Amino acid sequence: MNYFRTALLLAGLTGLFMGVGYLIGGGTGAVIALVIAAATNLFTYWNSDRMVLSTYGAHQVDRNSAPELYDLVAELAKRASLPMPRVFVMDEMQPNAFATGRNPENAAVAVTTGLMQQLSREELAGVIAHELAHIKHHDTLTMTITATIAGAISMLAQFGMFFGGSRDNNNGPGIIGSIAMMILAPLGAMLVQMAISRTREYAADNYGARIVGQPMWLASALAKIENAAHQAPNMEAERNPATAHMFIINPLSGHGVDNLFATHPSTANRIAALQQLAAELGTLAAPRSAGASPPPRSPWGGSTGQRGPWG
């Protein structure tokens, strides 16, 4: 089903690409746009993860450079029966995270420095488990390809404004048509992102919570990240809004159309769903706060007063 959804998504974005090409250059423009879209899709399949990680200046870490983070990811990946993903850190104060990669064997998890500083280990585990759920469900391929192609559609639409080309009658779409193309083409790509993002986030929340066995850890993390995202703008995300849907919480500031065309479900609704899951699992206690004195035992062995998630 995930592969079908990816194919359907690519077909829709390719159709948008061709439509913009037709407006710019008629039938020839549509064919050229199709060739460009095919090449872009192929390039994105193999390189989108590196492109997104590079965009956010993420640097890879290992057990020597970030032992606690690396070991946490390793333990959670083992719990999820996944290969060990590459681990990256972004020098960004806004707490957030995303996963990327075309398949579980070539996946990466990236977290911000703000996330590691502001969340407790339990909350961080909930966030990482959520990202591993995306990898498990092959959502990372969808997310990275969507981000890249949506950005390409926006650039092509802007290009069409300056180089209107000509249709068969050599008149082109005209100034009104060009302006409409600049607005509607990126909007169409945004709507495709929204269509896949909301159910994907709910599914990743649910599966990620089951990986750690404590839904309230993730619920607490989502509340903190949502609050901080509006107080600490992620300027790189603001410059690249087509990648916003990749993050666990929308990294955009929330001004203007950011709220109108949100790529994420309501955080309150996500937390409510996690609370319901916690009630079903009998694990309603919240995690300890970040910066609190560590308990006598590791949080992975039941230090929160509940049965440890590792058995």
Residues marked active site are found at 131
What DSSP string runs through the chain?
Answer: -HHHHHHHHHHHHHHHHHHHHHHHHHHHHHHHHHHHHHHHHHHHHHHHHHHHHHHTT-EEE-TTTSHHHHHHHHHHHHHTT-PPPEEEEE--SS--EEEE-SSGGG-EEEEEHHHHHHS-HHHHHHHHHHHHHHHHTTHHHHHHHHHHHHHHHHHHHHHHHH-----TTS--SHHHHHHHHHHHHHHHHHHHHHHHHHHHHHHHHHHHHHHHT-HHHHHHHHHHHHHHHTTS--HHHHH-GGGGGGBSS--S---THHHHT-SS--HHHHHHHHHHHHHHHT--PPPPPTTSPPPSS-GGGTTTSS--TT-
Q: How far apart are CA 260 and CA 197, in angstroms?
A: 15
